[in-house]
C-alpha cells in the first residue's frame, strides 16, 4: 500500500515538473521567434 501511495505522489510531482518544463520551453521559443 505504501509503495502505491509513494508512486502516486512521485507521478504527480513528475507531472507538475513536466508541465513547468513545457511552459518554460514554450516561453523560450516565443522569445526566440521575436
pLDDT (tens place) for every residue of the chain, 34 residues total: 679 999 999 999 999 999 999 999 999 999 998 7
Annotated domain spans of the chain:
1-34
Model pLDDT, residue 5: 95
Question: How far apart (Å, rounded) are the C-alpha atoms in residues 29 and 22?
Answer: 11
Confidence at residue 23, expressed as pLDDT on a 0 to 100 scale: 92
What local confidence, expressed as pLDDT, does residue 22 receive? 92
pLDDT at 3: 92
CA 30 to chain centre: 19
**Model pLDDT, residue 33:** 84
Dihedral angle sign, alpha carbons of residues 15, 21, 24, 30: negative
Find the farthest-apart pair of alpha carbons in the chain and give their distance in angstroms, rounded.
Answer: 50
What pTM value is reported for the model?
Answer: 0.53
User: Would you state the pLDDT for residue 34?
Assistant: 78
Amino acid at each position: 500500500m505504501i509503495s502505491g501511495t509513494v508512486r502516486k505522489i512521485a507521478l504527480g510531482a513528475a507531472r507538475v515538473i513536466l508541465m513547468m518544463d513545457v511552459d518554460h520551453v514554450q516561453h523560450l521559443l516565443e522569445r526566440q521567434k521575436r
